[in-house]
Amino acid sequence: KGETPKEAAINGRAEIGFADLTTTLVDVVVFVPIGFMGGIVGGFFKEFGLTIATATLLSLVVSFSLTPMLASRLYRQGETLVATKGVYFLFERFYRRLETGYSRLIGWALGHRAGVLLSSLILVVCVIGFTAPRLGTDFIPGSDQGLIAINLETVPGSSLLKTDAVTREIEATLNGIPDVQARVADIGEIVGGFGSLPHQGSQFAQINLFLREKRGVLGLGGSGKRSRTDLAIADSIREKIMAIAQKQGARATVAAVRSVQGVGAPVEIQLRSSDSNLLANYATEALSKIKAIPGIRDPDISLRVGKPEVRAQVDIARAALLGVPSAVAGSLIRLSLTGNTDSIFHEPEKGSDLPLRVIARPEDRATPAQIADLYLMTDKSGSPVSLGDVATLTQAVGQNSIERIVGMRYLTLTAYLEPNAPPDTQDKILASLKALPHEGITIYPAGDAEIIGENIPYFVSALGMAVLLVYFVMAALFNRLGVPFVILFALPMALAGAFGALYLTKESLSLVSGIGMLMLIGLMGRNAILLLDYTNTLQTQGMARNEALKRAGATRLRPILMTTTATIVGMLPVALRIGEASEVRAPMAIVVIGGLLVSTVLTLFVIPVLFSVYDDLVQNLRRRKNSTGNS
């Protein structure tokens, strides 16, 4: 137009300033609710939401100050920006054809409004209806943390030496695996949060495999790094370990520890009852029931047979008759079986004291009968009294632990999922448990399912608040109540793209993908705002509506494609899982990329059609109002 660089910078900034202000405020009001969400969700993303909102506001300041100043310095008056050769020339020629074709397609869409709207509606409904029920659910996606937990349980009552021997046999099969950097074995316990519920006892053992650092997504990263995932490595060793465990009469699980929050199995269900026998019987029956469900691997319950023990039932009347206090019987049992260290052996030469353990000889405490023969005291007549004279001793198996919650006994049922398990597997497990007679038993989803249930209200409230704030901001800036509704129609299109992208990449609905959908609320309206803002400007200059829509589409096509492409390219490294723990962030990027791709394509045609329908309704209402007023 012959303007100086300074004038062009100022006028260019002013031309798109309103749209830039609107899109920036829309982004801010979307991220603010994320920062103030309650529950675990708010704890995870408070800093994220507030940081993005602050950075977005600062970028607005930069776009109104630094960017125009740099533009006025970089461009020289009289300089042409039209290339005549090279790659830029070829791209520009392609873009001009695209721009002309798009302008014609808008004209065609405005002439076939019903067909365009109906086909778009059918497409969105079909995509969401097909993909949403087939998506699994997670709290936070698991990531390759380079850790595999092998949990072993030998026959109840096994000694530490027996458990150690089986553990060493399993460890021997792990030698020579190049992807394993180190391993640690614990005999006598299974630590909770590493692929299992916590257990203690001489029959338990755990082997943790620490894997080498994972190679990059493009095979980069140098030598010494692994190319296989933790899941692939776990699958490759599972069969050998299971064979050894089965040969030794033991039980074993092999699992890659992928959960960020450190819990055990992905499926956890809590069973509660005030009747311990009823609870144990139901849990055993439930365990056998869910083993038949497809997609289930290594189902288990927290009920365990404990160590063999000797139980002494003191006959109070008999003990009183013989003058033996019950406490004496208990003290004798404790002294004989566990010993007493009250005695001290003093070594004057070394100047040290050594505790002495006083305990019955092993041959005098090996069986209940031998323990019954232990001397207690003399009775009133001076005759010796043994433990068996005042107590009945029986051999039994005790429980490892007694777990209670809100005054009720509970057991935990856990299971792993096969890699291709159906997304409704946990629902099938709950349905099968409720199908069993369970009077007196209460069934509670635990683990991730419990966390998801507790935090859904926070997420839904943040989603609703974000939509309302976006509407209020656009209504205030456009000074029209109907235009924001037209822009918000891009949201279902963005959600269709998000669900489709999650389905194609085999990702699940999670807290992270939900944050991506919240981001889409701000991003999806950007293109529509750019388009309709310039349409309103052209209409105020006297241009007809349809012509204004075509002109605005052609003029704003370049910034729409630029902003969309920049966002997608920026999200690609995250979606491609480049970097440590990138699996956790990948669903957010996949949602944004899928939502932007679909919403951008559909917005370029559907939003102009919707705006024309809205404008017709407004004009009809005005004509009716005027005709009513004149009459």
Residues of the chain with CATH 3.30.70.1430: 144-257
Find the farthest-apart pair of alpha carbons in the chain and give their distance in angstroms, rounded.
Answer: 127
Alpha helices in 326-447 (DSSP H): 326-337, 368-372, 387-390, 425-435
Give the number of other Cβ atoms within 10 Å of residue 603's Cβ.
Answer: 26
Residues of the chain with CATH 3.30.2090.10: 307-399
Is 90 exceeded by the pLDDT of residue 284? no
| First-to-last C-alpha distance (Å) of the chain | 50
In whole angstroms, what is the distance from residue 567 CA to residue 569 CA?
Answer: 6
Bigger pLDDT: 79 or 279?
279
Predicted local confidence at residue 462, as pLDDT = 78
What CATH number does the domain located at 144-257 have?
3.30.70.1430
Provide the strand spans (E) within 245-403.
Answer: 251-256, 267-273, 296-301, 305-314, 340-347, 352-358, 375-378, 384-386, 391-399
Is 50 exceeded by the pLDDT of residue 263? no
Give the number of other Cβ atoms within 10 Å of residue 507's Cβ.
Answer: 22
The distance of Cα 596 from the centroid of its chain, to the nearest Å, equals 23
Query: pTM, whole model, 2 decimals?
Result: 0.73
Predicted local confidence at residue 593, as pLDDT = 93
Please check whether residue 38 is in contact with residue 529, taking contact to mean a CB–CB distance below 8 angstroms.
Answer: no
In 3D space, the residue among 277, 230, 260, 596 whose CA is nearest the CA of residue 409 turns out to be 277
Is 60 exceeded by the pLDDT of residue 193? no
Q: Is 465 exposed, middle or buried (0-12, 13-18, 19+ CB in 10 A)?
A: middle
In whole angstroms, what is the distance from residue 181 CA to residue 618 CA?
Answer: 70
Was domain 5-140+451-630 assigned CATH 1.10.3720.10?
no
pLDDT single digits (tens) 518-555: 888 878 778 888 888 888 888 888 888 888 888 888 88
Read off the pLDDT band of 253 (50, 70, 90). Answer: confident
Bigger pLDDT: 48 or 197?
48
Torsion of the alpha carbons at 136, 142, 146 and 149, rounded to the nearest 10: -70
In whole angstroms, what is the distance from residue 175 CA to residue 631 CA?
Answer: 96
Residue type, 21: L
Please check whether residue 179 is in contact with residue 226, taking contact to mean a CB–CB distance below 8 angstroms.
Answer: yes
Is 60 exceeded by the pLDDT of residue 559? yes
Read off the pLDDT band of 443 (50, 70, 90). Answer: confident
Is 70 exceeded by the pLDDT of residue 425? yes
Is 50 exceeded by the pLDDT of residue 194? no
For 363-378, what is the mean pLDDT? Answer: 77
In 3D space, the residue among 618, 489, 481 whose CA is nearest the CA of residue 545 turns out to be 618
Q: Name, in order, each residue with C-beta under 8 angstroms of 449's C-beta and a sequence gap of 6 or more.
A: 267, 268, 269, 426
3-class DSSP assignment, residue 395? strand
Residue type, 31: F
3-class DSSP assignment, residue 295? coil
At the top level of CATH, which class does the domain 307-399 belong to? alpha beta
How high does pLDDT run on average in the chain?
Answer: 80
In whole angstroms, what is the distance from residue 513 CA to residue 431 CA?
Answer: 27
The CA-atom distances, in angstroms, between 504 and each of 125, 131, 190, 509 are 17, 9, 38, 13
pLDDT single digits (tens) 10-19: 877 777 777 7
Is 90 exceeded by the pLDDT of residue 203? no
For 156-174, what is the mean pLDDT? Answer: 87
In whole angstroms, what is the distance from residue 629 CA to residue 14 CA?
Answer: 39
Please check whether residue 179 is in contact with residue 237, taking contact to mean a CB–CB distance below 8 angstroms.
Answer: no
Predicted local confidence at residue 590, as pLDDT = 92
Residues of the chain with CATH 1.20.1640.10: 5-140+451-630
In whole angstroms, what is the distance from residue 533 CA to residue 488 CA?
Answer: 15
